[in-house]
Amino acid sequence: MARVDQSKIRNFCIVAHIDHGKSTLADRIIEKTGLLTQREMQEQVLDNMDIERERGITIKAQTVRTVYKAKDGQEYIFNLIDTPGHVDFNYEVSRSLAACDGAILVVDAAQGIEAQTLANVYLALDHNLDVFPVINKIDLPSADPQRVIEEIEDVIGLEAQDAPLISAKNGTGIEEVLEQIVEKIPAPNGDPEAPLKALIFDSLYDSYRGVIVFCRLVDGHVERGSRIRMMATGAVCDVVEVGTFGAGQFIPCDELSAGMVGYITASIKNVKDTAVGDTITDDENPCKEALPGYKEVHSMVYCGMYPADSAKYEDLKDALAKLQLNDASLHFEPETSIALGFGFRCGFLGLLHLEIIQERLEREYNLDLVTTAPGVIYRVYKTNGEMIELTNPSNLPDPSEIDYMEEPIVNAEIMVTTEFIGAIMQLCQERRGRHISMDYMEETRVLLKYELPLNEIIYDFFDALKSRSRGYASFDYDLKGYEKSELVKLDILINKEEVDALSFIVHKDGAYERGRKMCEKLKEEIPRHLFEIPIQAAVGGKVIARETVKALRKDVLAKCYGGDITRKKKLLEKQKEGKKRMRQIGTVEVPQKAFMSVLKLDED
Amino acid sequence: MEEKKKLGIYIHIPFCVKKCLYCDFLSDTADSDVVNRYIEALKKEIGYTALNSIDFKSQYTVKTVFFGGGTPSLMNGEVIADILDSIIERFDISKDAEITIECNPGTVTKQKLDQYKKMGINRLSIGLQSANEDELKLLGRIHDYSQFLDTYSKAREAGFDNINIDLMSAIPGQTVDSYKKTLEKIIALSPEHISAYSLIIEPDTPFYDIYGDDGVTCCDQSSCKYEKWPPLPDEDSEREMYHITKDILKAAGYYRYEISNYSLKGCECRHNISYWDGSDYLGLGVGAASFMNSVRYSNTSDIYTYMKACEKLDKLPTAEYLFDDEEDMADDPDYINMEGYHEAIQPLSKNERMEEFMFLGLRMMRGISKKEFLDRFHTQIDDIYGNVIAKLIDQKLIEGDGDILKLTERGIDVSNVVLANFLL
């Protein structure tokens, strides 16, 4: 079989701000190029997981190969690599971009450029991708394509006058997009005869085939039986199958060669061996150097995850292990809590990643979880010169052993309309932000740059941002580094007993406020007992806030309607059932919910 | 000859002039067509049940009959007489049976009271709730206090010497003082029995819309669609009302025999007690609950389903029920439901009967007897509940007195918490 002609390949992705229609456009492209009939199309085929469909976001990169017959009469192979759409997955996004030669920038005709639009488009330009813009949602009454075109030219500096004006939802203007893909996205130009050099941009664990590696071949070729090596992890294996991507299915082929996007299976047992960003080469005839840009992903956010029913500990362990097969960025190790029993300290890329894992554990594995407050990794420098990376507040050494502590800081970019500047600046200030700059994108919109401590944004920063800007602000960040900080451990005492699962690290200036809010929240959540329960927040043994759950004074069912005992019994059963779902802290029964409710203290 | 078992009969009349704002009982207004059709259906149920389920006459002596509602006194006297006659005809009614009808002021005339007396009713339960006019209006009652006084004096004139008055505390806007006045006014009338309940805001009532779960009136919010409503009494006042009820009534010679019921000695409501002491009772009418031979079941709470099912009863073949063997019954709950209007049929296991013995028995101030537990279940109470009892005694929620276990004052206050401990 003849080798695929590189000049007929277009490898590209779509970049956009969330909700600007990236996945819908992807669906239309797939549909119009005839891979699927409309009837076969499920809404947004590329978003596979339920959670992705529900939240309207892409979590895992998806890739699809279609064939388009252009107006020049030629057939072109389109490899559309759909990138994750959230800041938590920035590294994965960057690797997906590296697998492309060009990108379509989708901008909402009504909303214009947003923070993520900028972040993603700069990321694409950083990877030397040729980017062309598309104006979507022109069917909206509030659409103003001309304004958006000008904005794209002014702010990003991209030529936008001939940008296709489309409605991905209605299928308007898609032909023009397809033609521009052919025209404006460069064809790959690798050397098929050079030593194999392929970029891993994703991988997937399949229980029958092992790990399926998604890769872009830069140079060389690979086929069944080739012995390949992962240059960073050093893993070596024999290729079992190579192929390309249909919509939601794998289509085997004879070989993958330079310029192609496809998959490789090689009886690899663990996704850890196929790290995203690593370079695949031929074991016997390796390329001289790996592709640039590989880095190990580190968890940014940690929390404790405990089974609500302690008997489910092993189930939780199995479920985490299974998820990890598919998600190299998920870390977990066993830990124990006096309040919550046996569980795991888990590390995530960010809060969304945490929420997704939590939801998947609950839905796909039917587990009921109690999660402790997420925290970041603090660096604790001890007086003996030792440095520890702290992921669980309970492990904080005695203050006398601590010289100083550092916390991670991020560079944050927030885009907001001018009327909310005040509110957003105030929010950033409350979260200990350091103002870096403010630039006008256009008359009514500014880009605010702040340095913010990561632990201030992992809780509910995004929600607060949305509510204080009535949804208009958008936000992006990347890790800047570690800085020295005045941090303290805040402990919560329920009926005089310290609850380890509720302890967390906080800046000393915020300790009182947070302690007070936690006490208030716990007071709401802990039911009245037969005795009075003090709830205290303490720093270094000193109580800084207190609330009291008053003793229960009355709980009587008075009427008994016409001898309806069943109803009365149900009430008692409910009471007993409720108790089962409680955690015993000394003599106090604390609902599981209480541990979670303190995660969202800013909801007012 | 073996002694017959005791039976209580409850008859539900689900109609009211107007539904009170706090009421979540099965009752509503209805036009006369529905009322007439319902009464006919009810009589069919009575006839069918007596003929087809158990040989009631040979096995049971009816010790109490209770017309509840709704507002049974809304019916014409003849209607009640008709129903009662059909019961007397088919069941063995004890000579000293307690026969009660619930009355609401504003629906009772001297003529009705005379009719009740004549047909054999010997106890009245009058729904008053409060002697304060404002509070009555707030509750959505159809009567004022003077109408109640009129009803009460006419009842005495008619010769009723066993009268209950229902009272309520924790009414919106009620103060300890106004509640005290209500108690004093009622004591001055010397009824034989007083039921004193604390208002509970139940879901699916207008009060729930207004006060919600947290008891806070929504009237301060712009979204409130109700007229301005006063707040519920605060917890301190509510508790005080609850506690002075017992003290004031005790001083006046009323003793508390059950969590919410007070009476002069010998005037306890025997029907009410039968709910707590594990006796059999037969509920007739829509939504009525029964407890027969250790099986709990209820009639459908949908009035149309109920009426349709009853109307078909004539056409059903005579069922051959054998109620002698409890085990058989427990195995086959379907047989009760042949008529299609019974639901929530639940044969009680031994464990469930033990649970009920405890959580129902402890509602009675006299408490439960350990020996009776042993007699009924052939198991020592401590083998089942030893730990629970020890814990609750330690927490001063129940107290032991020889063979007897009963709730303490504190235990009464939080009785739901206490009683939930006895679920197995």
Burial class (CB in 10 A: 0-12, 13-18, 19+), A193: exposed
Q: Which of A537, A485, A529 is nearest to A512 (CA)?
A: A537
Closest chain B residue to A570 measured between Cα atoms?
A: B420
Q: How far is CA A337 from CA A313, A376, A407, B395, in A?
A: 13, 18, 24, 29
Question: Between A556, A559, A576, which is nearest B423 by CB?
Answer: A576
Instruction: Measure the CA–CA gap between B356 and B263, rounded to whole angstroms.
Output: 24
Q: Identify the bridge partners of residue A434 per DSSP, sorted by sequence position.
A: A451
Question: Between B238, B275, B395, which is nearest A563 by CB?
Answer: B275
B416 touches chain A (CB under 8 A): yes
Instruction: Measure the CA–CA gap between A137 and B111, rounded to whole angstroms.
Output: 78
Instruction: Measure the CA–CA gap between B122 and B143, rounded to whole angstroms.
Output: 24
Taking the CA of residue B136 and the nearest CA in chain A, the distance in Å comes to 19
Q: What sign for the dihedral angle of Cα B314, B316, B317, B321?
A: negative
B102 touches chain A (CB under 8 A): no
| Interface mutation target, options A532, A549, A569, chain B, most CBs of B under 10 Å | A569
CB pairs under 8 A between A and B: 91
Element (H, E) at A579: helix A565-580
Burial class (CB in 10 A: 0-12, 13-18, 19+), A128: exposed
DSSP string, B339-379: GS-EEEEEEPPHHHHHHHHHHHHTTBTT-EEHHHHHHHHSS
Taking the CA of residue B349 and the nearest CA in chain A, the distance in Å comes to 14
Which segments within A434-473 are labelled E, that is strand?
A: 434-442, 445-453
CB B261 within 8 A of CB A560: no
The more confidently predicted of residues A565 and A41 is A565
The two three-digit tokens of residue A501, written as one number: 């699962």
The more confidently predicted of residues A583 and B133 is B133
Element (H, E) at A130: strand A130-136
User: What backbone phi and psi angles, to 5 degrees, belong to B48?
Assistant: -65, -45
Q: Is B407 helix (H, G, I), strand (E, B) or coil?
A: strand
User: What backbone phi and psi angles, to 5 degrees, belong to A254?
Assistant: -70, -45
Type of residue numbered A418: T
Q: What value does the CA radius of gyration of chain A take, rounded to a whole number of Å?
A: 27
A564 touches chain B (CB under 8 A): yes
Instruction: Measure the CA–CA gap between A161 and A184, rounded to whole angstroms.
Output: 14
Query: What's the pLDDT at B313?
Result: 79
A565 touches chain B (CB under 8 A): yes
Mean pLDDT of A582-594: 85
Cβ of B414 within 8 Å of Cβ of A552? The answer is: yes
Taking the CA of residue A577 and the nearest CA in chain B, the distance in Å comes to 10
Instruction: Measure the CA–CA gap between A523 and A84, rounded to whole angstroms.
Output: 40
Type of residue numbered B73: S
Question: Confidence class of residue A87 from pLDDT cuts 50, 70 and 90?
Answer: low
Percentage of chain A with pLDDT > 90? 48
Closest chain A residue to B288 measured between Cα atoms?
A: A562
Contacts of B360 in chain A (CB under 8 A): 565
The more confidently predicted of residues B27 and A188 is A188
Residue whose token pair is 């404006």: A184
B420 touches chain A (CB under 8 A): yes
- Domain made up of B5-276: CATH architecture: Alpha-Beta Barrel (3.20)
Question: Confidence class of residue A477 from pLDDT cuts 50, 70 and 90?
Answer: confident
Cβ of B235 within 8 Å of Cβ of A559? The answer is: no
Degrees to nearest 5, angle at CA A267 with A263 and A271: 70
A580 touches chain B (CB under 8 A): no
| Interface mutation target, options B235, B275, B300, chain A, most CBs of A under 10 Å | B275
Taking the CA of residue A492 and the nearest CA in chain B, the distance in Å comes to 26
Domain residue limits, chain B: 5-276, 368-420
Type of residue numbered B348: L
Cβ of A557 within 8 Å of Cβ of B356? The answer is: no
Cβ of B259 within 8 Å of Cβ of A558? The answer is: yes
What number of other Cβ atoms are within 10 A of residue A475's Cβ?
22
Instruction: Measure the CA–CA gap between A113 and A442, rounded to whole angstroms.
Output: 10
Taking the CA of residue A374 and the nearest CA in chain B, the distance in Å comes to 31
Helices within B96-253 (DSSP H only): 110-119, 133-139, 145-157, 176-189, 206-211, 235-251
B237 touches chain A (CB under 8 A): no
Contacts of A555 in chain B (CB under 8 A): 413-417
Contacts of B25 in chain A (CB under 8 A): 561
Instruction: Measure the CA–CA gap between A459 and A375, rounded to whole angstroms.
Output: 9
Contacts of A568 in chain B (CB under 8 A): 359
Contacts of A579 in chain B (CB under 8 A): 420
A571 touches chain B (CB under 8 A): yes
Residue whose token pair is 């009982």: B25
Cβ of A566 within 8 Å of Cβ of B287? The answer is: no
Taking the CA of residue B1 and the nearest CA in chain A, the distance in Å comes to 30
Question: Between B12, B287, B417, which is nearest A555 by CB?
Answer: B417
| Residues contacting residue B383 through CB under 8 Å, at least 6 positions apart | none
Strands A9-16, A102-108: pairing is parallel
Q: How far is CA A191 from CA A102, A231, A277, in A?
A: 19, 19, 20
Cβ of A559 within 8 Å of Cβ of B296? The answer is: no
Contacts of A561 in chain B (CB under 8 A): 25-26
The two three-digit tokens of residue A562, written as one number: 């016409």
CB A266 within 8 A of CB A240: yes
Cβ of B12 within 8 Å of Cβ of A564? The answer is: no
Question: Between A556, A562, A579, which is nearest B259 by CB?
Answer: A556
B373 touches chain A (CB under 8 A): no
Type of residue numbered B229: W
Residue whose token pair is 């330079």: A258
Taking the CA of residue B185 and the nearest CA in chain A, the distance in Å comes to 23
Instruction: Measure the CA–CA gap between A432 and A341, rounded to whole angstroms.
Output: 34
Cβ of B281 within 8 Å of Cβ of A575? The answer is: no
Instruction: Measure the CA–CA gap between A454 and A409, rounded to whole angstroms.
Output: 5
Question: Confidence class of residue A476 from pLDDT cuts 50, 70 and 90?
Answer: confident
User: Is omega for the bond preceding A225 within 30 degrees of 0, making it cis?
Assistant: no
**Tens of pLDDT, residues A543-562:** 999 999 998 887 776 665 56
Q: What sign for the dihedral angle of Cα A450, A456, A461, A462?
A: positive
Query: What's the pLDDT at A84?
Result: 66
B82 touches chain A (CB under 8 A): no
Taking the CA of residue A392 and the nearest CA in chain B, the distance in Å comes to 37
Query: What's the pLDDT at A576?
Result: 82
Q: Identify the bridge partners of residue A215 per DSSP, sorted by sequence position.
A: A200, A262
Q: How far is CA B45 from CA B65, B86, B326, B347, in A?
A: 16, 10, 23, 21
Question: Confidence class of residue A457 from pLDDT cuts 50, 70 and 90?
Answer: confident
A318 touches chain B (CB under 8 A): no
Instruction: Measure the CA–CA gap between A291 and A289, rounded to whole angstroms.
Output: 7
Question: Confidence class of residue A59 from pLDDT cuts 50, 70 and 90?
Answer: very low
Contacts of A581 in chain B (CB under 8 A): none
Residue A442 has pLDDT above 80, yes or no: no
Mean pLDDT of A399-428: 92
B423 touches chain A (CB under 8 A): yes
User: What backbone phi and psi angles, to 5 degrees, belong to A433?
Assistant: -75, 150
**Tens of pLDDT, residues A65-86:** 888 989 999 999 999 987 766 6
Contacts of A575 in chain B (CB under 8 A): 416-417, 420
Range in A194-198, A327-331, A579-583 the model is least confident about: A579-583
Residue whose token pair is 């939504």: B287
Chain centroid, CA B330 distance in Å: 26
Question: Confidence class of residue A604 from pLDDT cuts 50, 70 and 90?
Answer: very low
Counting as low any pLDDT under 50, the low residues of chain B are 318-336
Closest chain B residue to A571 measured between Cα atoms?
A: B416
Cβ of B68 within 8 Å of Cβ of A562? The answer is: yes
The two three-digit tokens of residue B51, written as one number: 């003929």
B424 touches chain A (CB under 8 A): no
